[in-house]
Amino acid sequence: MSDKILLDQGSGGLASHRLVADVFFKHLGNPILNRMDDAALINVSGPLAVSTDSFTVDPIFFPGGDIGSLAVHGTVNDVAMLGAKPLYLTCGFIIEEGFAMADLERIVASMGLAAKKAKVRIVAGDTKVVPRGTADKIFINTTGIGQVVANPAPSGHRARPGDAVIISGTLGDHGLTVLSHRQGLSFEAPVQSDCASLNHLTLKLIEALPKVHVLRDPTRGGLATSLNEIAQQSSVGIVLDEPAIPVSDVVRAGCEILGLDPLYLANEGKLICVLPEKYAQQALTIMRRDPLGRQARVIGSVVADRPGKVVLRTGMGGHRMLGMLEGEQLPRIC
Amino acid sequence: MTSSDPLRDPARCKELLVQIEESVKGSSLRFMEVCGTHTVALFRSGVHSLLPKSVVHLTGPGCPVCVTHESEVAAYLELAGRSGVIIATFGDLMRVPGPGGASLKKAHAEGARVEVVYSPFDALAIARDNPGDKVVFLGIGFETTTPTVAATVRIARQEGLSNFLVMPFHKLVPPALDALLSDPDMAVEGFMLPGHVSAIIGMEPYRPLAERYHVPAVVAGFEPVDLLQAILLMTEMKRQGKPKVINNYKRVVADEGNPKARAIVAEVYKPVDALWRGIGTIPGSGLGFTDAYRAFDAFEVLGVELKASKPLPGCRCGEVLKGIMRPDECPLFGKACTPAQPVGPCMVSTEGSCAAYFKYQLDLNTDR
Ligand code: SF4
């Protein structure tokens, strides 16, 4: 096989078949995918959660992950946040002509590993190769299907005054990693993406605590944006205690240098859990037993005041609004 | 996000707040911070929400994006999209509205080559990689950013890179303070002076504040304790009627500033009159290239001129920058003008006063 992706490898002819067999089946193969029919035959019943997402991250490889593992984790997490058990994924690739075959293999292998860890199967896929210059290296779309196990399913509309707001760990790790690598910046201590599938953790939570009102993974726009969405969907206010919000020292320092706010940076392996205050301790115990929730903390509460708004109580006892992110976060000028 | 940092110690902050309250008893005071980073720090730390109602803290002309004049914006937008030109800029300028709703962001979507950089050195690298194009770096910023830009220009000259150009929109703080204080409408009773700018220029340029205008001024850092200490020092000086200029940020700011940085700037640039948005021309408040470095002046090389351009209709930036009006007193604030649909640059920039009010203030008009 050529060491670069060629246009005819997306043509549907023999070259495509070889690519599919040599790269995709090798790493993603399972009985359903291997049948190679026009569609995958799957067996599910009851309420389903479906989610789709396209991944266009730059750089495609970063400390802690790559576009392939991200494409699995991202969609698995979206499905899991609905109180569902993710079962199947489909994936579509758009690859720029000339893309290195070794990089593609590395990405697909990493997807395979991520899927295995998350216990989901990739059951259908598609590959297109586009002429050089018409796409930036590689784009991946994944769609996930999961069986809803929580009843009622957690939803952004269900936050109620008196609920506690819990975060599963430190914020901003993924966002700062990707941003600093894109800009070729390095910090004294290395930053690493938190990219991970959270479905095993969410399952433990909803099985033990059917009272969970909201689960959400604060990806793009970060914690601040996700909480604003929840406050608006549920018409409640949210008050956060700034000193309680976990941010690692490296991320804090990196953000200070760049003039960024960690509360608006993307996370790919963290979840927000909103549930009645009296179950908060139990939720924390469950989360802290899982490697992905070791640093879980209660960071605030849901209130009836100021519906639709998030207010931050600062370390010195002052208050300010924590609004939605407008546009992209950009580094400061002075 | 706790920190064991004594500069963020809540108990120390409470103490300072009590002292401020004592000190202003019976009087009301209007202070101004001159630096956009202070504006944001005051809001972000919650200091703004804790100050006694009798202390009004106004935002001044300290955000470099906000004071960039509309004709300067029009000038760089004219270049964006010209063939053979790559614009390199700090991110803050991308969304600044220009004539007819144009912006760099829109120009980029329409095919202009615009690169967001984190440092002028990145712009230099783009120039090296694209020898067939002219790379124009938009040199906006105060004394803090200018030395790096000047150093970059010097490297470009040493390397013989003739396709790296700068639009010198740099502005200087002391002449602006002077212009503000000479304005009879201005009603500010104390200045929180910029920490980073002062690290370069030192204390000397601020002397007239106390001597000529009898206004107390304090160079401050950016942590909650820094901010409160500066406010306390100003209220005390007001109370005692003894205005002085105090350096309360000695851990970063040397009284003599940074002579090396100033020397680099003096080699590349010379003071010129500059246009400030909402204020107009302030003599000697900008920087133009010295003769030795004229070959790097985008205006000269590309034949661009600053043309008179109309201020944005309805935008009260000038009054906000002079501290005559609080951002939320502008009739367009939060209605026709929001971060999503900014009318003026003060609503765009991360350090802009209108954006800070919009973003951080709890209940506009009531929570102050
Ligand atoms: S609120 Fe908008 S229109 Fe009013 S001064 Fe600020 S930027 Fe200008």
Least confident among A182-191, A291-300, B230-239: A182-191
| Chain A residues close to B3, C-beta within 8 Å | 315
Coil, strand or helix: which one is B120?
helix
Q: Which of A282-286, B9-13, B325-329 has the highest mean pLDDT?
A: A282-286
Coil, strand or helix: which one is A174?
helix
What confidence tens digit (pLDDT) does each residue in B24-33 have?
988 889 999 9
The band of A327, judged by pLDDT with boundaries at 50, 70 and 90, is low
Q: Given a cut of 50, is residue B169 above it in pLDDT?
A: yes
Do B14 and A316 make contact, defined as CB atoms within 8 angstroms?
A: yes
CA B83 to chain centre: 31
The beta-carbon neighbor of B350 closest among A262, A323, A332 is: A332
Average pLDDT of chain B to the nearest whole number: 91
Paired strand residues for A166? A273, A298
Coil, strand or helix: which one is B144?
coil
User: Any residues with CB less than 8 A from the CB of B240 and at least 6 apart, and which?
Assistant: none
pTM of this prediction? 0.84
B66, B92, B118: best mutation site toward chain A, by most A Cβ within 10 Å? B118
Ligand 1 atom 1: residue of nearest CA: B333
What confidence tens digit (pLDDT) does each residue in B56-113 have?
888 888 888 889 999 999 999 999 989 999 999 998 899 898 888 899 999 999 999 9
Reply yes or no: is the peptide bond before residue A59 cis, omega within 30 of 0: yes
- Cα(A204) to ligand 1 centroid in Å equals 50
The pLDDT value recorded for residue B4 is 56
**Are B70 and B309 within 8 A, CB to CB?**
yes
Q: Indicate if ligand 1 lies below 6 Å from the C-beta of B355.
A: no
Interface predicted TM-score (ipTM): 0.73
Least confident among A183-187, A267-271, A290-294, B169-173: A183-187
Q: Indicate if ligand 1 lies below 6 Å from the C-beta of B354.
A: yes
Interior/surface letters A85-117, b for 16+ CB within 10 angstroms, e for the rest: bbbbbbbbbbbbbebebebbbbbbbbbbebbeb
Q: Given a cut of 50, is residue A206 above it in pLDDT?
A: yes
The pLDDT value recorded for residue A331 is 54
B334/B16 Cα distance (integer angstroms) = 33
Kindly list the residues of chain A whose beta carbon comes within 8 Å of any beta carbon in chain B: 183, 185, 242-243, 245, 247, 252, 258-259, 262, 306, 311-321, 323, 326-328, 330-334
What confidence tens digit (pLDDT) does each residue in B336-364 have?
999 888 888 888 887 888 998 998 887 64
Mean pLDDT of A70-94: 97
Do B349 and A333 make contact, defined as CB atoms within 8 angstroms?
A: yes
What confidence tens digit (pLDDT) does each residue in B120-161 have?
999 999 999 999 999 999 999 999 999 999 999 999 999 999
Q: Given a cut of 70, is residue B2 above it in pLDDT?
A: no
The band of B368, judged by pLDDT with boundaries at 50, 70 and 90, is very low
Q: How do the residues of chain A divide into helix, strand and coil, expressed in percent and rounded to 5?
A: 35, 25, 40
Do B351 and A320 make contact, defined as CB atoms within 8 angstroms?
A: no
- Cα(A256) to ligand 1 centroid in Å equals 27
The pLDDT value recorded for residue B364 is 43
Coil, strand or helix: which one is A216?
strand
**Are B345 and A305 within 8 A, CB to CB?**
no
DSSP assignment, residue B335? T
Ligand 1 atom 7: residue of nearest CA: B344
